[in-house]
Structure 1
Amino acid sequence: MMEINLTRVDYTQVGVTSRKSLRLLPIAGKTQKAAVADHKGVLQLFGVRKGEVQQVFKTNPGLKISRLELGGPVDGVRERIFTASGPEVKGYTKKGKNFLTFDSNMSEGIESIYVEGADLFCCGKFMYNHYHDCKDTNFFLSGDQVNDVICLPSLLVSPLTPVLACQDRVLRVLQDSELLYEVEVPGPPVTLSLYGNDAGEDGTELLFGTSDGRVGLVQIGRDCPSHRWELPNEKRNGGVLCIDNYDITADGVLDLIVGRDDGLVEVYSYDDSDEPIHRHTHTCSESVTSVQGGILGSAGYDEIVCTTYAGWVFGLTSESKQKQVGPDSTILTANGKQKIIAMRTDLEQLQNKVMEEREKYQHTAQSNTAISAVPTFNINDKFVLNREDASYTLSLELQMPIDNVLLQSDVPIDLLDVEKNSAVVSYSACSPEEGNFLLATYRCQANTTRLELKIRSIEGQYGTIQAYVTPRVQPKTCKAEQYQIKPLSLHQRTHVFDDQRPHNTLTLTGQFSQAEMHSWVCFCLPELPEKTPPGDEVQFHFTSTFLDTQLECSYSKGLAKFRSDNISTISILKDVLTKEATKKKVRLDITYEVNDDSIPYTLNLIHPKLEYQLLLAKKVQLIDALKELSVHENSTDFLSPEYRQILSDSDQLKLEYKRQPCHLERLYGMITDLFIDKFKFKGQNMKGRVPALLEVLDNYDLQTLVQFFEQN
């Protein structure tokens, strides 16, 4: 298999960019033109000639541009540029003429658009509007936040079939103003793309990328969908922000190009297999907001053109670039040498100008008349739950370098190691009795614009994490962001529920509205829409990422019912919902049914995890002693195969143990809570029996543990 060699070439820098804010226009001549839009409201079209960026047109600054799309006749060339900012959609020709300014009259700002011939599809956070020739044609209100919109090719699929990518792990397939059906996908879908740029032979194949880093292909049939393949995120890379299809390997078959929020640009080849095979990865230090395959810099050389959050527009080109540079190099042409000398002169002039301005600022700052303007900056942040290791990833990204981040928490949390993180962390002493459980400072290296942290919380303990972000700017300024740790923080939305499991039930009745109960449930559980979904009764399903237990919430006006196979989940809900209702002075009547069979069932779910962690801890404890023995004997031959295996895997075992601090304590804590909660619902306080329970856990055996629960 041929190796892909791609070299980075920087073209220009624009303002902060949103997802899908760059498009390459169809090829005209030997190279293509690139259209890019930013948060300053500037749209620009440029080409590259002899290594120099040449601007075709540039608009004046205005409202933040949230999306850029290309459109054109249904069976023609897509060379018209459409941008969305606020409630408006504007259209430009490739020469920069503004031929359309359309006010959608949507009550929300437009977040995503798609253009198919004379049809325009616009989505806000929850609203979907379809316009035909700028006339309002169809409307749909989504049950959860809409992240992207696309339409199947109208030449192949009739009637028009728009698809919404929604935050609740669902693709909603529409027909007119009605929901045709929903397609469940493995994570919250962030971006959609037509497979092979034309949705396959039948025009029904869609690629999706999720915020937890998965990519998949789904076929949208008339009556039901079929999942073709899915790439799992085993390496726990960042979320997928953009997807493109382009033959970068020049083998006659389109490749899959993926851009992620942790700065990875990946190339996958389809080859003969159905599922794409990873071929190449390029790493940059910022979120990649757009990827497009094409020919921009040099005629005849394919490349991947990318934009980053901070506004860099660069290409990963297949053209070989010489590493030897400088005006004395024998390889460079006379023209190249002149360029380097001119660039050095420009750089010196800029450095002198910066020094002059700095001195001027220092001088005015010392006088009493000067007023220092606080620089404003935006934080591109993400706080998401990872199913694989039941932890939260907090990523913070700035347009400028980060100096330091101070993390403060009023709830007990663990900070886990992140390999990509090069920041130096230091912890300060805290006073938990004053409600301060964590104070950590991350000092970033020079030019770090993105920081990623991993956090694990304890269910039942809820509060707020505050991040104080200080960039490297003068005068010093700081911005604080808050992130909620919810009572059932390790639960994740799902669309399946196993009725065969033994369940405990909590029923609440009282003088509360459906909206009030929805706000209380939102306070308890993550991944729920802020707005109350339409309908007289609302139903949500969750699964615990830590224990694989499940929860069903269904509520209407005056009645709420919760079912779970984990009695501790029911106990947490009962305590928190009662507290919230008391705050609002709403009287609740509470009834519950405890199913004794649910206890051994939950213990069986915990068993493999507990057994694995106990074995891991035991192996790590043995490593040093085994190393000492092997050094003393100058051989490992006398050891049993099991011990030899422990020695050979010692680094990996230590790393895994280090990555999962307090994992065993967490499992012990959950079993203890299960024990206390079981008897709490029976009106008995069993805290005095906890030491005996811990003794059983220290000599762990599943049957003995189940018997202990039953005997007490």
Structure 2
Amino acid sequence: MMEINLTRVDYTQVGVTSPKSLSLLPVSGKTQKIAVADHKGVLQVFGLKKGEVQSVFKTQPGHKISRLELGGPVDGVRERIFVASGPEVKGYTKKGKNFLSFDTNMSESIESMYVEGSDLFCCGKFMYNHYRDCKDTNFFLSGDEVSDVICLPTNVVQDITPILACQDRVLRVLQENELLYEVEVPGPPVTMSLYGNDGGEDGTEILFGTADGRVGLVHIGRTLMSCRTRMYWEKNRRDQPNHRWELPNDKRNGGVLCIDNYDITADGVLDLILGRDDGLVEVYSYDDSDEPIHRHTHTCSESITSVQGGIVASGGYDEIVCSTYAGWILGLTTEIKQKKAGPGAAILTAEGRDKIVGLRTDLEELQQKVMSEREKYQQTAQSNTAISAVPSFHINDKFVLNREDASYTLSLELQMPIDNVLLQSDVPIDLLDVEKNSAVVSYSACHPEEGNFLLATYRCQANTTRLELKIRSIEGQYGTIQAYVTPRVQPKTCKVKQYQIKPLSLHQRTHVFDDNRPHNTLKLTGQFSQAEMHSWVCFCLPELPEKTPPGDKVQFHFISTFLDTQLECLYSKGLATFRSDNISTISILKDVLTKEATKKKVRLDITYDVNEDSIPYTLNLIHPKLEYQLLLAKKVQLIDALKELHVHENNLEFLSPEYRQILEDADQLKIEYKRQPCHLERLYGMITDLFIDKFKFKGQNMKGRVPALLEVLDNYDLQTLVQFFEQTQ
């Protein structure tokens, strides 16, 4: 397998960019031009000649541009540039002529957009609108936030088939103004792309990337293309949508923000190119297998908002053009940028020397400007009429639940370097180690009795624009985390961001529910509206839409990322029913919902049904996790003793294979144990809560029996633990 060598080349910097706001225009001559739009409202097209940026056109600043798409005739050349700003869409030719200014009259700003021939698909947070020749054709209100929109190619698939990527982990396939069906994906989808840029042979294959870093290929059922009614499709389920492959995120990389298909390996097969929000650009090759194989990774220090493969700087040399959140436009090129003259030496070309001289001149001019402006500011500050302007800045943040380790990832990104971040929490949380985090953390003394459980300061190294933190919460304890972000600017300023830790914070949305499990049921009746109950449920659980979904009844399903227990929420006006195989989940819901109803002065009638079989069932779900953590802790305790033995004894053949394996894996075991602090204590805490909650529903206070329970856990055996739960009265 040939190795890929890519060299980074920085081209220019624009304003802050949104995902999918850069595209390469079709080849003109030997190279391609770059079209990019930013939050300053500027659209610009430029090319490169001998490494120098040559502008084709540049628009005047205006409202923030949220998306850039290329359009053209169906099955023709896509060379017309469309940009979305607020509710308006503008179109430009490749030379810069403004041929379209279309106000969609949408009540929401356009967040995502797609162009297919004379069809324009626009989405706000929840609204989808389809326009044909700028006439409103179809409308759809999504049940959850829309992240991206795409349409199957109409030159292959005759019917207009838009697909919405929604935050509730589904792709919604539409036909006209109706929801045809939903395709569940493994994480909240953020971006989509046509497989091979054309949807494959049938035009029905869609690549998707999720917020938790997964990538997959899904085939949209073809039967729906030839039918006009849902009834016909229901009768022909043999060609349902199916998942071709999914790439797991074993290395826990960032969320996927952009996808492209381009043959960067020059083997005649299109490669898969990904841009992630932690700054990774990845290349995957298909080779002989259907599932792509990882070939190359390049690390940037900022979120990658767009990736496009093409030929830009030099004719005949493929490259990947990327835009970052802070507006850097860079290329990862296959062209070798220096000629080596010997070990450790390099000869600069005349072109390279000229470029360095030019950059030094530009740098000196900028330094002079900065000094001049600084002097002006100092003089103004000393006068009586001085007004100190606080510099404004935007924080690109993300607070996402990861199923793999049941933790939240908090990422904070600025256009400018971060000086420090102060993290304060009024709820107990654990901060987990993040390998890619180079900031120095220090903890301050806190007083939990005053509602302050955590005070940590992260001091960032120079030029750090992105900081990533990992947080694990405890279910049943809820509150607010506040991040005070201070950038390296003068005068000093700070921005505060707040993140809610919800009572059932470790639950995530799912669309599968196993009715065969033993369930505990909580039923609430009272004078509450459906919207009121939805707001209370939103307060308890993450990943729910702010707006109440349409319909007389609302149903949501959840799974615990920590224990794999499940929860069903079903509610309408005046009636709400909750089912879970974990009695502690029901107990938390009962306490919190009662409290919220009391605040609103709404009287609730509460009935519940406790299924005794659910207790051993939940303990069996906890068992493999608890057994693994106990074994891990035991192995880590043995490492030092075994290492000391290894120093004194050259021959360790007398040791059992198990102990020899512990010595071989010592470093990995320590890393894993360090990565999961308090994991064992958490599992103990959950078993203790389960014990207390079981008897709480019977009206008994069993806190006095907790020491006896802990004794059983110290000599852990599943059958003994189950018997303790059953025999205690």
**TM over 0.5, yes or no?**
yes
> Deviation above 4 Å: which 4+ runs of structure 1?
none
Aligned mates of 2:14, 2:278 — CA distance in 1: 20
Contact 2:17–2:325, Cα closer than 8 Å, also in 1: yes
Letter in 1 for 2:7: T
- Which of 375, 393, 396 is equivalent to 1:359? 375
After superposition, residues 247-326 of structure 1 pair within 5 angstroms as 247-322=263-338
Letter in 1 for 2:673: Y
- Which of 611, 621, 639 is equivalent to 1:595? 611
Which residue in the other structure is 1:118 paired with?
118
Which residue in the other structure is 2:726 paired with?
710
What is the DSSP-based 3-state SS (H/G/I as helix, E as strand, rest coil) of the residue aligned with 2:36? strand
Which residue in the other structure is 1:182 paired with?
182
Determine whether 1:370 maps to 2:386. Answer: yes
Q: CA deviation at 1:643?
A: 1.0
After superposition, residues 424-503 of structure 1 pair within 5 angstroms as 424-503=440-519
Deviations 1:450-505 (A, max 9, x none): 00000000000000000000000000000000000000000000000000000000
What is the DSSP-based 3-state SS (H/G/I as helix, E as strand, rest coil) of the residue aligned with 1:5? coil
Contact 2:391–2:493, Cα closer than 8 Å, also in 1: yes
Which residue in the other structure is 1:663 paired with?
679
Deviations 1:600-640 (A, max 9, x none): 00000000000000011111111111112222234423322
Cα distance, 1:543–1:323 mapped onto 2, change above 3 Å: farther
Contact 2:339–2:347, Cα closer than 8 Å, also in 1: no
Give the structure-2-normalised TM-score: 0.96
Aligned mates of 2:360, 2:44 — CA distance in 1: 27
Of 639-648 and 187-196, more deviation after overlay is shown by 639-648
Which residue in the other structure is 1:685 paired with?
701
Deviations 1:187-222 (A, max 9, x none): 000001000000001110100000000110001112
What is the DSSP-based 3-state SS (H/G/I as helix, E as strand, rest coil) of the residue aligned with 1:547? coil
Contact 2:525–2:605, Cα closer than 8 Å, also in 1: yes
Aligned mates of 1:665, 1:675 — CA distance in 2: 15
Which residue in the other structure is 1:539 paired with?
555
Aligned mates of 2:468, 2:217 — CA distance in 1: 28
What is the DSSP-based 3-state SS (H/G/I as helix, E as strand, rest coil) of the residue aligned with 2:201? coil
After superposition, residues 213-232 of structure 1 pair within 5 angstroms as 213-221=213-221, 222=224, 223=233, 224-232=240-248
Aligned mates of 2:464, 2:349 — CA distance in 1: 35
Q: CA deviation at 1:359?
A: 3.3
- Which of 641, 654, 669 is equivalent to 1:653? 669
After superposition, residues 39-188 of structure 1 pair within 5 angstroms as 39-188=39-188
Identity %: 88
Which residue in the other structure is 1:383 paired with?
399
Letter in 1 for 2:270: L
What is the DSSP-based 3-state SS (H/G/I as helix, E as strand, rest coil) of the residue aligned with 2:493? coil
Letter in 2 for 1:64: K
Aligned mates of 1:249, 1:70 — CA distance in 2: 25
Cα distance, 1:639–1:151 mapped onto 2, change above 3 Å: same
Q: CA deviation at 1:323?
A: 6.8
Letter in 2 for 1:30: K
Deviations 1:534-583 (A, max 9, x none): 01000000000000000000000000000000000000000000000000
Determine whether 1:344 maps to 2:360. Answer: yes
Which residue in the other structure is 1:14 paired with?
14
Aligned mates of 2:66, 2:483 — CA distance in 1: 26
Deviations 1:43-89 (A, max 9, x none): 00001111111000000001100000000011211100000000000
Q: How many correspondences in the alignment?
A: 709
Q: CA deviation at 1:648?
A: 1.2
What is the DSSP-based 3-state SS (H/G/I as helix, E as strand, rest coil) of the residue aligned with 1:518? helix
Aligned mates of 2:705, 2:416 — CA distance in 1: 55
What is the DSSP-based 3-state SS (H/G/I as helix, E as strand, rest coil) of the residue aligned with 1:624? helix
Which residue in the other structure is 2:566 paired with?
550
Contact 2:263–2:269, Cα closer than 8 Å, also in 1: yes
Aligned mates of 1:690, 1:682 — CA distance in 2: 17
What is the DSSP-based 3-state SS (H/G/I as helix, E as strand, rest coil) of the residue aligned with 1:406? strand
Aligned mates of 2:562, 2:339 — CA distance in 1: 49
Q: CA deviation at 1:324?
A: 7.2
Aligned mates of 1:236, 1:541 — CA distance in 2: 25
Aligned mates of 2:692, 2:353 — CA distance in 1: 77
Aligned mates of 2:620, 2:14 — CA distance in 1: 55
Q: CA deviation at 1:159?
A: 1.1
What is the DSSP-based 3-state SS (H/G/I as helix, E as strand, rest coil) of the residue aligned with 2:316? coil
Unpaired stretches in structure 1, ≥5 consecutive residues: none
Deviations 1:274-326 (A, max 9, x none): 1000000000000000000000111100000000000000000000011779x
Letter in 2 for 1:492: Q
- Which of 395, 403, 414 is equivalent to 2:419? 403
Deviations 1:85-107 (A, max 9, x none): 00000000011000000000000
What is the DSSP-based 3-state SS (H/G/I as helix, E as strand, rest coil) of the residue aligned with 1:420? coil
Letter in 2 for 1:480: V
Deviations 1:124-182 (A, max 9, x none): 00000000110000000000000000000001112110000000000000000001110
Letter in 2 for 1:622: L
Letter in 2 for 1:607: H
Unpaired stretches in structure 2, ≥5 consecutive residues: 225-232, 234-239
Q: CA deviation at 1:335?
A: 4.5
Which residue in the other structure is 2:649 paired with?
633
Which residue in the other structure is 1:237 paired with?
253
Aligned mates of 2:352, 2:398 — CA distance in 1: 43
Cα distance, 1:323–1:525 mapped onto 2, change above 3 Å: farther
What is the DSSP-based 3-state SS (H/G/I as helix, E as strand, rest coil) of the residue aligned with 1:433? helix
Aligned mates of 1:334, 1:614 — CA distance in 2: 64
Cα distance, 1:323–1:681 mapped onto 2, change above 3 Å: farther
Cα distance, 1:324–1:344 mapped onto 2, change above 3 Å: farther
After superposition, residues 556-567 of structure 1 pair within 5 angstroms as 556-567=572-583
Give me the CA root mean square deviation.
1.2
Letter in 1 for 2:363: L
Aligned mates of 1:594, 1:641 — CA distance in 2: 47
Determine whether 1:38 maps to 2:54. Answer: no
Q: CA deviation at 1:238?
A: 0.2
Q: CA deviation at 1:660?
A: 0.4
Of 140-149 and 355-364, more deviation after overlay is shown by 355-364
Aligned mates of 1:113, 1:532 — CA distance in 2: 25
Determine whether 1:701 maps to 2:720. Answer: no
- Which of 516, 525, 533 is equivalent to 2:541? 525
Q: CA deviation at 1:350?
A: 2.2
Deviations 1:335-356 (A, max 9, x none): 5433322332332232233233
What is the DSSP-based 3-state SS (H/G/I as helix, E as strand, rest coil) of the residue aligned with 1:83? strand
Determine whether 1:4 maps to 2:20. Answer: no
Aligned mates of 1:512, 1:345 — CA distance in 2: 69
What is the DSSP-based 3-state SS (H/G/I as helix, E as strand, rest coil) of the residue aligned with 2:20? coil
Aligned mates of 1:336, 1:311 — CA distance in 2: 24
Give the structure-1-normalised TM-score: 0.98
Letter in 2 for 1:120: L
Determine whether 1:610 maps to 2:626. Answer: yes
Cα distance, 1:335–1:601 mapped onto 2, change above 3 Å: closer
Aligned mates of 2:541, 2:485 — CA distance in 1: 27
